[in-house]
Amino acid sequence: MLRKPVVLITGAGGEIGHGLITRLAEDGTHSVITLDVRPLEPGIARLVQREFVGSILDTDVLERILSEYEVDHVFHLAALLSTRSEFTPMTAHHVNVEGTINLLEFAQKQGESHGRPVVFMYPSSIAAYGLPDVESKMRVGRVTENEWTKPTTMYGCNKLYCEHMGRYYAKRYKQLAAETLSGKVDFRSLRFPGLISAVTIPSGGTSDYAPEMIHAVAQGKPYACFVRPDTRIPFMAMPDGVEALLKLAAAPKGNLNHTVYNVGAFNPSADEIRQVVLEAFPGSEITYSVDVKRQGIVDAWPADVDDTAARRDWGFAPQYDFKRAFSEYLIPTIRRRYQK
């Protein structure tokens, strides 16, 4: 009996999953199956061929998928984000590390069973960096992939380690090279900045102050920002994040000189975001109430990323700069969403 060729998305109900499923459905080129601990929202569920509700820690569900589907791409999005991971570090380690290894093993087995490498897309994060203090952060500015990789959070450590695991599966398996055990995982990773979506509200992240600010005032609610006004990290509008994932997934292997690429789009301070949001929603109330722990997390993240390698190797070119992201995507879409 033939298995059906599909793309697997884990953590599909999250922020990136929504954007990715919608975009793949518009394209109509791939059949999508999903795995998430919670059922998908009906609007998204109807766009996928099959929805598995379960955990990436459950290898039985992965075996079931292996037996029924021929997966050629994995978008492994499931993760506990940075703030949440600090409250439950052991759970974060289980989900973020052991879950990822389960998926890498799954991809290897898939590749062995159908004979082709499985493209394994892994969203890493600026949390993989760790700058020692704010002074260094501001002095250093843009960081390249191989500098300052001393993460300070459980989530950041998990992301950096899994980048290495992906590289191991892609390269080391090949080096062992017993014919039956050749490398079948074509691992490709993006170090994402804070992503801002107009259609979903994030939860558990530390870059969440930006999207939370816009979504709150658009609903007429006051917002107390949990970081200082001068806090600066890179951000990206969700459509550019989804496009980057698809573009890197489709890039010819021979063009890729790295397994992990920085991507960034704009890097406003929290107060610059506040000003733009206040202009769009005059009379709104946005104050500051600094959470020392969350501030500590973003203070260790870089003020900007150097994404030269991504632009050179596979043509990364974000469409939304700071002004356009707010005036053409975030503000109008979020306004419409809450007016409904």
Is residue 61 within 8 Å of residue 35, measured between CB atoms? Answer: yes
Binds ligand AKB by CB under 6 A, chosen from 16, 21, 127, 330: 127
How many angstroms separate the first and last alpha carbons of the chain?
Answer: 47
- Tell me, yes or no, if 223 is annotated catalytic: no
The verdict on 24 binding ligand AKB (CB under 6 A) reads no
Minimum distance of ligand AKB from residue 194's CB (angstroms): 5
Residue corresponding to tokens 């389960």: 102
What mask of x and - would describe binding to ligand AKB in positions 78 to 107, judged by CB under 6 A?
Answer: ---xx-------------------------
Residue 157 half-sphere exposure toward CB, CA atoms < 13 A: 10
Member of 10, 200, 206, 259 binding ligand AKB (CB under 6 A)? 206
Q: Smaller CB distance to ligand AKB: residue 6 or 127? A: 127
Instruction: Kindly name the residue from 122, 129, 155, 173 that is annotated as catalytic.
Output: 155
Residue among 99, 205, 264, 268 that touches ligand AKB (CB under 6 A): 205
Select 33 or 154, whichever has its Cβ closest to ligand AKB: 154
**Is there binding between residue 189 and ligand AKB (CB under 6 A)?**
no
Q: Based on CB atoms, which residue is closest to ligand AKB, 85 or 110? A: 85
Q: Tell me which residues in 219-278 interact with ligand AKB (CB under 6 A).
A: none
Q: Residue 126 interacts with ligand AKB (CB under 6 A)?
A: yes
Instruction: List Cβ neighbours of 29 (8 Å cut-off, separation of 6 or more).
Output: none
With a CB cutoff of 8 Å and minimum separation 6, the contacts of 234 are 126, 193, 194, 264, 265, 266, 267, 302, 303, 304, 305
CB of 65 or CB of 131, closer to ligand AKB: 131
Span interacting with ligand AKB, options 108-116, 202-210, 273-281, 312-320, rule CB under 6 A: 202-210
Question: Residue with structure tokens 């590749």?
Answer: 111
The footprint of ligand AKB (CB under 6 A) covers 81-82, 125-127, 155, 194, 205-207
| Catalytic residue ranges | 155
